[in-house]
Amino acid sequence: MSLKSVRSNFFSRNKPFFSVIIPVFNRKEFIERAVNSVLSQDLQDYELIIVDDGSTDGLDNVIFRSDIIVIRKENGGVSSARNAGIRKASGEYIAFLDSDDEWKSNKLSLQQKFIVENPEIRIFQSDEEWIRRGEKVNPKNIHQKIFGDIFYNSLKLCLVSPSAVVVRNDIFDQYGLFDEKMPVCEDYDLWLRISAREPFGLLNEKLIIKYGGAHDQLSSSKWGMDRYRIYSMIKFLDGTYERLSSHKEYKLKEELFRKIEVLLKGCIKHGRIDFALHLENLRDSIGNNLNSTDSTFLLQE
């Protein structure tokens, strides 16, 4: 199919090209910046969906434009909020934006151009600038964004930023939505699930400003973040997801055992003895290739 015909197919439709989803919970001081960065895009072919996940800080009093879709729901966590937005979305592609981040004004137009030129790619992300406590910082090499088969690199840590990613709407029919049982690392879980089967694209332009260091960030509110990644990885072994290829399963187990050992040392150091015993049993079950691995304890506080 020629680029001209691809472009024609994209633009001969009634629904928006993008659905932009902003989940928010008690971020009244940031949400206006995020929303304005969407409204100021030089491409206006989108619908904007804001999901208020039961905010209690007066967010109800923030006045949004009448053409913005606002979903108000009981608090259920960021996965629940994003999923509510996905279910409402009518765009061909979905772009997420965290409520404390912002986009540069040409973000959507350049991402649309990337889609038109790469119609076979169903999920991709752009590069981003990092601001930590008001200071610009450079990401470490381990955080550098890559493209293609990112599964192996993604086992160690999350390499995809929700504020930078664009996903074709139909991909969720194949791989499912965000896991609402996971209070954190829900993005790691979904991107790992998709990257096991799907190549990721990369638009190597810094189109997002990502802020960090806020006191209410979820990643700073939980102990032992790797326990959530372990929980996610085990779903490839216990029958929750389709079985991986033998090489991918080998590499997953290799990283899984490494994470378990690190977490075990931390638990013993900090006196979490009961949790450590459960973790040892889990490690032994995985080592013996048992499918009856109970990993739900990893989600308990």
Strands 123-132 and 46-53: unpaired
Q: Report the chain's mean pLDDT, rounded to a whole number.
A: 90
pLDDT the model gives residue 11: 53
The answer on pLDDT for 96 being more than 90 is yes
pLDDT the model gives residue 85: 98
Domain-located, residue 79: yes
Give 63 or 134, the one with higher predicted confidence.
134
Q: Copy the structure tokens of residue 77.
A: 């966590």
Q: pLDDT tens digits, residue range 35-53?
A: 999 999 999 999 999 999 9
Indicate if 110 and 153 belong to the same structural domain.
yes
| Nearest partner of 22 among 106, 76, 80, 98, judged by Cα | 98
Domain-located, residue 169: yes
Give 11 or 87, the one with higher predicted confidence.
87
pLDDT the model gives residue 2: 46
Domain range spanning residue 181?
3-216
Indicate if 33 and 142 belong to the same structural domain.
yes
The answer on pLDDT for 214 being more than 70 is no
The answer on pLDDT for 81 being more than 80 is yes
Indicate if 82 and 143 belong to the same structural domain.
yes
Q: Which pLDDT band, with edges at 50, 70 and 90, does 57 fall under?
A: confident
Distance between CA atoms of 77 and 182, rounded to whole angstroms?
9
226 touches 262 (CB < 8 A): yes
Provide the whole-model pTM: 0.91
DSSP 131-148: EETTEEEPPPGGG----B
Mean local confidence (pLDDT), 183-199: 97
| Nearest partner of 177 among 166, 163, 191, 164, judged by Cα | 191
Q: Any idea what the CATH number is for the domain that residue 76 is in? A: 3.90.550.10
The answer on pLDDT for 292 being more than 70 is no
For every residue of 46-97, which 3-state class applies, written as one string? EEEEEEEECCCCCHHHCCCCCCCEEEEECCCCHHHHHHHHHHHCCCCEEEEC
Indicate if 201 and 115 belong to the same structural domain.
yes
pLDDT the model gives residue 168: 98
Residue that finishes a domain, picked among 158, 192, 216: 216
Indicate if 203 and 231 belong to the same structural domain.
no
Q: pLDDT tens digits, residue range 220-264?
A: 567 889 999 999 999 999 888 988 999 999 999 999 999 999 999
Indicate if 255 and 211 belong to the same structural domain.
no
Indicate if 12 and 109 belong to the same structural domain.
yes
Indicate if 60 and 82 belong to the same structural domain.
yes
Residue that finishes a domain, picked among 216, 235, 268: 216
Indicate if 8 and 79 belong to the same structural domain.
yes
Q: Residue 53 pairs with which residues in a beta bridge?
A: 73
Domain-located, residue 221: no
The domain total for the chain is 2
193 touches 175 (CB < 8 A): yes
Q: Residue 292 contacts by C-beta under 8 Å, 6 or more apart in sequence?
A: 238, 285
Indicate if 128 and 201 belong to the same structural domain.
yes
What are φ and ψ of residue 229, in 5° steps? -70, -40
